[in-house]
Structure 1
């Protein structure tokens, strides 16, 4: 870490003019962060109604050729809410929602939120038994499926725990203009809501701090995805923190978002930033590096949401004379690499980067309110960064039995204190919830949430993200569970034993998946790699399929407690000079693994292949 990364008092003082200019919003946002009144009505549904009153004819949502005002969007969500109520759904119930980025997704979630129904935001890339697990885990009372995902649902529908008459679908079109046709076995939600009430439901004013809003699925350390409860109070805090204090849009701003809305960065951060000020959200179905800036100009966007991988892809595009020909003045997201941070801002003429750190399940968050470079920003809540022993995979405790905070500039494990104002809502599985809690940290009886992330204290309650610990790694903007991938690999024909881990590829964000596998044959060259690829493509989302396979013709190394020795594997990664095991690689655009050669390795390390 360079001295330039440390936040000093002169640096902090240099930001005072900006702070004073935006003080009302910052103060307002900070008040939202301290919400603890369990009797105050709040949440997504009420916020949409407030935005509608504030800016009824302003643009709420743009998607392809569709443009909706707040009045139109609110009325649509109300009809969905009225219909869901009519079939008996009530506060505390859950619906499964599996729709790609399009207006129908947001309208469904808002309609459900208005009557206190929790939306389980299914990851749209899930297939097979992972999809079955995610669906059944939350015990939905109904399901709303986009036409584009009906095939994936139908493949496993006989394994889903839901009555056949409770499956609804939206045609893959502008269903406000044309309800279209849906697949057999599904009710057309666009059609059945046509005669429902467009008025704000009474239930919307009876949603409170602890009422569930949606489930977001996160890959943890125990295999299959965990459903994290995201309640209305937590949404309200993000609405205040980003909408008023950090991003600070106006009703004339438009934010472009290509992020998947089954993740909190899209569904919560980018959208709430718009709703708070009655600004417009411009939604894209998929990310396209070549089309990104064309869309930004076409829709006259003044902001966009990102993850680090997105920024890297944009940065890798050939420079153009009109790179600065855009109206974007602020971007919000996480994972912008320090190596491109300043250059990225300068190239595209971006004034502010609202980098953030948060997790779907966590109780501690950081936001770059003051527009410093290379930091996830400031956190107002009680947290600590403590010394961590990577070999033992646990925090270091002193002679007194308590944990030890790191010094300024040192990396350590980030933990968030669990209090009434910063609760840890946990998972659907109580055992998994308890496993994430550290007790007797600095005093007997205290409790902290274990984020599993390494951070560096850079002063004045600011931090830098360092690395993710444990049995997950991040690739393509997604958390990958090593245990889940190991379980799938273990089920492949001819595979005897596996260990999965993430490895760094130069000039990429996150870590690519790599698996050391032991086969039931020594003739690894004639192993059925095509069959393995086909199997993995059926059972795993694309981002979770290992990029590298290391073929072990020997017993795998384990610790004294029979855990696989991953640290050495991570260090050796796919480097043919570091070990003698054969390595196979799934190159971008290829459908199957091929033997890694020194020439291909040199190409990977030199950036020839775009992962």
Structure 2
């Protein structure tokens, strides 16, 4: 009897002791059990023969749930079987056209539409990789993005993007383009072909598996573009192994085939493609696909389609919090929100207003080899670290010299780790489990991301370019980015690319671009300090037309500061710190300031009155 009482007492007391001294013990245990399960499943798939790829998981879903709704887009529904047939038609059309052979790369320049998914499936069935171009890019950026995939000859574009392709058609030809397919019946040029018509006239018979016989785990599967400090877009190589691992993201967060996923983020982005689309391929869940995010229609569509899972970047949830309050705000079926970049105050406001939705904030980058997940729900944190996580994916936070723009090193030439509570540069060891493939046709930028002799002589780490901090409870927080990039509207903007575009104006001698904070807004918005040619005047309308032609909306400098000279270092690097601190406040400088006014379609003088309207949100950005 005494022994039984002792055991019962222990069963009651032990959990209480654990909850007091180790408050996250059970949460950690559940997460790490799931982490090991995912790893074992991944390794099991890696051992299967013939090779088991992400495409094969889609084929399994077609076989087990052919009539289950896979995609809902506007007024149309597509089952898994429908998607399989549509992608077969596209693949067979491309085979008949003899424009692609196994191992080739095709370029997708598509908006969010079912054709995006069907085209990727078709190319995967043909044993081809594909590059996912940002649908906002134009002119020089479009040509540069295409040229990243050396050897690409085929481009598939949306009907609405024909004009952008036509504008640089000759330049694309010089980069090797031979064929342009448009996902429409209507064509604006005889130099383009209708993929819609060709697919309709093609068979929906299965594509021979022999076409992808030479595909290996190291074969490029997708190229996803990311902006770095060099300016023009870089194509991060996502190989078949990375694609296979990406299948687990939604499933590891409890998503099942009963869930309905609302995908409003661009499919050309890592979040939309790897998390939203491939996550649904793994789980067999339904995708509600939208062309663009709409804050005003968001919750109505969630209710209409009985959405249970939403994706976000920080801005998305802020936009939702800024909409007019309704009595129905908490009347929905959404139970899970997964994404990154969520500010603490927005996090709290979102939960208060829209109800008890589980937030799964994570940290990851397109080309990176480490990620974190805030599975414990700690507001403001991007993840939680542990011994097991560090063992599988070794990383460190190291001291960083922001003035010299490089890591600090000790007398032995090694990097110095920061203690808990202090901010450091995230670097992660490049291993077989955590590889870094790099950028297509850009070994110079690939090498710049490799940091050598970090903790031991001879080791190699991936340089994330992000400054993070770990608290004493082992939660990790994002602090800032290093280098010449800033983030606005969920997009990374390379300042050197914007500077180059600004310098194309014939009255601009030099432009120094940087990001400035605006109260109440996520990230930093673009601002350019400009030195004019001798005797020249700033031309407001011409500048407006120029940036609108060559830059996507999120990269256009909203503020311009006219300077008589540029501050530079001894090595002629532009100084930004004082400019960033002054921001766009007219009272902080005697220089002339201008604001990009979309209503008047020009740059206008940034007076104190305009400044106050921006800060008070009377003028929307």
Which residue number in structure 1 is paired with residue 156 of structure 2? 144
Name which of 220, 223, 231 aligns with 1:215: 223
Q: SS of the counterpart of 1:399?
A: coil
| TM-aligned CA deviation for residue 220 of structure 1 | 1.1
Q: Is the CA contact (8 Å cut-off) linking 2:407 and 2:415 kept in structure 1?
A: yes
Q: SS of the counterpart of 2:101?
A: coil
After superposition, the Cα gap between the structure-2 partners of 1:47 and 1:574, relative to the gap in structure 1 and judged at 3 Å, is same
Which residue number in structure 1 is paired with residue 243 of structure 2? 235
Q: Which runs of 5+ in 1 are unaligned?
A: 1-8, 172-179
In the alignment, structure 1 residue 356 sits paired with structure 2 residue 362 = yes
Q: Is the CA contact (8 Å cut-off) linking 2:152 and 2:176 kept in structure 1?
A: no
After superposition, the Cα gap between the structure-2 partners of 1:433 and 1:22, relative to the gap in structure 1 and judged at 3 Å, is closer
| TM-aligned CA deviation for residue 23 of structure 1 | 7.5
Q: Is the CA contact (8 Å cut-off) linking 1:548 and 1:574 kept in structure 2?
A: yes
CA distance in 2: counterparts of 1:277 and 1:25, whole angstroms: 15
Which residue number in structure 2 is paired with residue 124 of structure 1? 135
The alignment's C-alpha RMSD in Å is: 2.4
Deviations 1:212-268 (A, max 9, x none): 11111111111211111111211221212x13212x212121111111111101111
Deviations 1:89-144 (A, max 9, x none): 23321101111000001110111122331111111111111111111221312111
Which residue number in structure 1 is paired with residue 461 of structure 2? 448
| TM-aligned CA deviation for residue 528 of structure 1 | 1.4
| TM-aligned CA deviation for residue 53 of structure 1 | 2.6
CA distance in 2: counterparts of 1:188 and 1:28, whole angstroms: 45
Which residue number in structure 1 is paired with residue 8 of structure 2? none
| TM-aligned CA deviation for residue 192 of structure 1 | 2.0
CA distance in 2: counterparts of 1:237 and 1:378, whole angstroms: 20
CA distance in 1: counterparts of 2:308 and 2:421, whole angstroms: 35
CA distance in 2: counterparts of 1:72 and 1:10, whole angstroms: 50
| Within-5 A mapping of 1:389-408 | 389-408=401-420
CA distance in 2: counterparts of 1:461 and 1:193, whole angstroms: 53
Which residue number in structure 1 is paired with residue 274 of structure 2? 268
Q: SS of the counterpart of 1:510?
A: coil
After superposition, the Cα gap between the structure-2 partners of 1:12 and 1:400, relative to the gap in structure 1 and judged at 3 Å, is farther
CA distance in 2: counterparts of 1:482 and 1:32, whole angstroms: 42
Which residue number in structure 2 is paired with residue 6 of structure 1? none
Which residue number in structure 2 is paired with residue 433 of structure 1? 446
In the alignment, structure 1 residue 190 sits paired with structure 2 residue 196 = yes
CA distance in 2: counterparts of 1:305 and 1:508, whole angstroms: 19
CA distance in 1: counterparts of 2:536 and 2:400, whole angstroms: 42
Which residue number in structure 2 is paired with residue 596 of structure 1? 606
Which residue number in structure 2 is paired with residue 514 of structure 1? 527
Deviations 1:568-605 (A, max 9, x none): 21112112233221211124644221111122222222
Which residue number in structure 2 is paired with residue 606 of structure 1? 616
CA distance in 2: counterparts of 1:521 and 1:432, whole angstroms: 36
TM-score norm. by structure 1 comes to 0.91
Which residue number in structure 2 is paired with residue 108 of structure 1? 119
CA distance in 1: counterparts of 2:420 and 2:42, whole angstroms: 26
| TM-aligned CA deviation for residue 343 of structure 1 | 2.1
Q: Which has the higher contact order (CA 8 A, sep 6+)?
A: 1
Q: Which shifted more, 317-326 or 578-587? A: 578-587
CA distance in 1: counterparts of 2:101 and 2:545, whole angstroms: 42
After superposition, the Cα gap between the structure-2 partners of 1:452 and 1:12, relative to the gap in structure 1 and judged at 3 Å, is farther
Q: Which shifted more, 326-335 or 595-604? A: 595-604
CA distance in 2: counterparts of 1:369 and 1:556, whole angstroms: 46
CA distance in 2: counterparts of 1:287 and 1:561, whole angstroms: 44
In the alignment, structure 1 residue 410 sits paired with structure 2 residue 419 = no
CA distance in 2: counterparts of 1:452 and 1:23, whole angstroms: 27
Q: Is the CA contact (8 Å cut-off) linking 1:366 and 1:377 kept in structure 2?
A: yes
Which residue number in structure 1 is paired with residue 84 of structure 2? 74
Name which of 492, 507, 514 aligns with 1:479: 492
TM-score norm. by structure 2 comes to 0.90
Q: SS of the counterpart of 1:340?
A: helix
CA distance in 2: counterparts of 1:346 and 1:25, whole angstroms: 29
Q: Which shifted more, 17-26 or 65-74? A: 17-26
| TM-aligned CA deviation for residue 182 of structure 1 | 3.5
CA distance in 2: counterparts of 1:43 and 1:584, whole angstroms: 52
Q: SS of the counterpart of 2:203?
A: coil
Q: May I ask how many residue pairs the two structures share in their alignment?
A: 591
CA distance in 2: counterparts of 1:91 and 1:295, whole angstroms: 40
Q: Is the CA contact (8 Å cut-off) linking 2:92 and 2:207 kept in structure 1?
A: no
Which residue number in structure 2 is paired with residue 4 of structure 1? none
Q: Is the CA contact (8 Å cut-off) linking 2:57 and 2:281 kept in structure 1?
A: yes
Q: Is the CA contact (8 Å cut-off) linking 1:58 and 1:251 kept in structure 2?
A: no
Q: SS of the counterpart of 1:492?
A: coil
CA distance in 2: counterparts of 1:588 and 1:339, whole angstroms: 29
Q: Is the CA contact (8 Å cut-off) linking 1:533 and 1:591 kept in structure 2?
A: yes
After superposition, the Cα gap between the structure-2 partners of 1:32 and 1:232, relative to the gap in structure 1 and judged at 3 Å, is farther
In the alignment, structure 1 residue 303 sits paired with structure 2 residue 309 = yes
After superposition, the Cα gap between the structure-2 partners of 1:51 and 1:39, relative to the gap in structure 1 and judged at 3 Å, is closer
Name which of 506, 518, 537 aligns with 1:505: 518
Q: Is the CA contact (8 Å cut-off) linking 2:45 and 2:52 kept in structure 1?
A: no
Q: Is the CA contact (8 Å cut-off) linking 1:305 and 1:331 kept in structure 2?
A: yes
CA distance in 1: counterparts of 2:337 and 2:222, whole angstroms: 25
CA distance in 2: counterparts of 1:590 and 1:464, whole angstroms: 40
CA distance in 1: counterparts of 2:481 and 2:300, whole angstroms: 34
Q: Is the CA contact (8 Å cut-off) linking 1:259 and 1:305 kept in structure 2?
A: yes
Q: SS of the counterpart of 2:514?
A: strand
Q: Is the CA contact (8 Å cut-off) linking 1:35 and 1:233 kept in structure 2?
A: no
Q: Is the CA contact (8 Å cut-off) linking 1:52 and 1:278 kept in structure 2?
A: no
Name which of 30, 36, 41 aligns with 1:27: 36
CA distance in 2: counterparts of 1:165 and 1:419, whole angstroms: 39
Which residue number in structure 1 is paired with residue 434 of structure 2? 422
After superposition, the Cα gap between the structure-2 partners of 1:110 and 1:590, relative to the gap in structure 1 and judged at 3 Å, is farther
Rg comparison, structure with higher value: 2
In the alignment, structure 1 residue 551 sits paired with structure 2 residue 566 = no
CA distance in 1: counterparts of 2:30 and 2:484, whole angstroms: 44
| TM-aligned CA deviation for residue 15 of structure 1 | 5.1
